[in-house]
Structures are given as structure tokens and as C-alpha cells.
């Protein structure tokens, strides 16, 4: 992939942090900036089928409908018995 030089303006504080981190890693600041930008701007791959499969697996573990009011009441009763 062909690249072109670009100028990115950052605050002096941000550049100082970039220089310190680059020094800690032993790389030039521009190489670290490129690495950080590439990681931050990389397209996020989302596999809808795997997400839906994961949700289906979670749903399969739920045993019937849940009465939220009863769950909250049970929790309050337990806290009351604990003196909280």
C-alpha cells in the first residue's frame, strides 16, 4: 500500500508522552505514532453470525421466563435478613 506523509498536530504534552513512550520502546516517535494510529483506526471486523450464535448459546442456558419483580423482591428480602 502506498503511503504519503501527513502532518498531525498534537499538544506539546501529547508529543512529550509520545516521545517518552517511543524512547521506552526503543523506536522513533513517528513509528510509534504510525503504530498507534493504525491500531486505533483499523476496521473492526464483526461476524454477525458468531455474535448471534453466542447470544443463542446464552439464551439456551436461561430456564424459562424470569420475573424481574420477584427477583428484586427476593434480593431485598435477603438484604433485610442480612441487616443491610
CA dist., res. 75 & res. 64, Å (int): 19
Q: Tell me which of 19 and 49 has the higher pLDDT.
A: 19
pLDDT at 84 over 80: no
pTM of the model: 0.48
- Mean pLDDT, range 7-25, rounded to an integer: 93
- Mean pLDDT, range 6-26, rounded to an integer: 93
- Mean pLDDT, range 48-54, rounded to an integer: 86
Confidence label for 31 from pLDDT (cuts 50, 70 and 90)? very high
Tell me the pLDDT of the chain averaged across its residues.
88
Residue 29: which of 41, 20, 19, 38 has the closest Cα?
Answer: 19
Amino acid at each position: 500500500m502506498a503511503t504519503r506523509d501527513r502532518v498531525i498536530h498534537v499538544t506539546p504534552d501529547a508529543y512529550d508522552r509520545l516521545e517518552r513512550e517511543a524512547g521506552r520502546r526503543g523506536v522513533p516517535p513517528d513509528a510509534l505514532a504510525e503504530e498507534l494510529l493504525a491500531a486505533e483506526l483499523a476496521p473492526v471486523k464483526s461476524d454477525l453470525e458468531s455474535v448471534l450464535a453466542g447470544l443463542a448459546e446464552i439464551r439456551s442456558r436461561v430456564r424459562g421466563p424470569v420475573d424481574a419483580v420477584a427477583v428484586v423482591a427476593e434480593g431485598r428480602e435477603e438484604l433485610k435478613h442480612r441487616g443491610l
